[in-house]
Structure 1
Amino acid sequence: MGAFHRDRRSKHLVATFTGFEADLLRSLASQLVELLHHEAAVPDDRDPLEALLDFGGPTSAPEDPVLARLFPTAYTDDEEAASDFRRFTENTLRDGKARAASAIIDGLEEGGLPDELEEDDALVIDVELAEPDAQLWLRSFTDLRLALAVRLGVEDDDEEYWASLPDDDPRARAHDVYDWVGGLQETLVHALTH
């Protein structure tokens, strides 16, 4: 379950998730949204025109390592340029990443995922995405994998280390989730391009 493919009739991208898979994916996306807004750059309860014309965003890199990876410093050799770039772009980038993660939550709930999942529930969630929504999911899968990689300390060519962990090690299970999201991402890319 959980693999995306293109429906021949509707041309939409579809996937079927178990209730557990859908709930896990919703939880990951919800945590990402919360993280993006927790260390919020600037609260945006202003008039929309005022907000559009205000470039008073953050000027320094986020303290959280995941956010620092999601919003890297643009100019490592010019602190003033990096500060200006961040001030003009980070709020918009945060909003875009939060919207993409929210698209996952919305898609799963539209597919029938209830607010609370019963432990013994044999629920199956069918998700059907038009291409613009599929692109949002794809972007969010990238963000989720980056977040998980940072939290777990995943590095290039460390597959042997992860394979050596016992199955009951919580890090091994978390890495399995990282791999699972990567698998979803791969099937979605394939479905979008074929």
Structure 2
Amino acid sequence: MPGTFEPLPGGGAAVALDDVEISIIRSLAVQLLELIGPGPASDAPDDPLAELFAEGPSEPPADPVLRRLFPDAYCDPEQVPGSTKEAEEQQAHSAEFRRYTENDLRAGKRENALAVIRTLDVLSPVGEEGAVLKLSTEESRQWLGALNDLRLAIGSRLDITDEDDTDLLYRLPDEDPRKPMVMAYLWLGGLQETLVTTLMP
């Protein structure tokens, strides 16, 4: 089981993690939370209806990682912005879509990252053998979402856009400063792949 998720009887998944792995995943989840930003302010009106209809931003985020996590819904990424009437219409539709969906998307990604932190924080003390993390089916889905977001974030920092870029990462020399980030990206990919398998019917 080390390094790979396995299904639990009755649903959910389990994986053995050592203290270093726990520390890495927790640190990455905290960084993801900081990147996504805080939720509604504590002094916001306690009105669920108002929160439901609250508008989000209409412009894409400036940070390339956030643009990867919250891409435009209708725009062709290869198209020059505003180059044609069709492109302008796509931008307008994307802005409208973003205004009414990004807050919810951010909340979902925030909750997934928090679920990762919470489940790691309640693990039994780690010994030489490591600890076994056991997740319910719902926690497994939250972990899957968070692992995907972490890989998107790291992949964006590494300028990974397709499978060929991933193949090049395997051949990076050890002295390359990107190597630790690459190792985390590939390791998280393995965790994600085995977790997907556990959730398959």
Q: TM-score, normalised by structure 1?
A: 0.86
Tell me: CA distance 1:155–1:21, structure 2 relative to 1, closer, same or farther (3 Å): same
The size of the alignment, in residue pairs, is: 185
Deviation at 1:159, TM superposition (A): 4.1
- Superposed CA RMSD in Å reads 2.2
Match of 2:196 in 1: 189
SS in 2 for 1:180: helix
Please list, as runs of the form range in 1=range in 2, the aligned pairs for 1:63-142 lying within 5 A after superposition. 63-76=62-75, 77=87, 78=89, 79-112=91-124, 122=128, 124-142=130-148
1:169, CA displacement in angstroms?
2.3
CA displacement at 1:126 relative to structure 2: 1.7
SS in 2 for 1:28: helix
> In 2, distance between residues paired with 1:37 and 1:113?
30
Partners of 1:19 and 1:123 within 8 A in 2: no
Find the residue that maps to 1:23 and give its secondary structure.
Answer: helix
Q: What is the percentage of aligned positions where both structures have the same residue? A: 38
- Give the unaligned 5+ runs of structure 2: 76-86
**Residue of structure 2 equivalent to 1:55:** 54
Q: Specify the code of the residue in structure 2 equivalent to 1:48.
A: D
Q: What TM-score do you get using the length of structure 2 for normalisation?
A: 0.83
Q: How many angstroms does 1:140 deviate by?
A: 1.0
Does the CA-based 8 Å contact 1:66-1:150 persist in structure 2?
A: yes
* Pairing 1:21-60 to 2, within 5 Å after superposition: 21-37=21-37, 43=41, 45-60=44-59
Aligned to 1:147: 153
* Correspondent of 2:186 among 179, 186, 191: 179
| Equivalent in the alignment of 2:79 | none
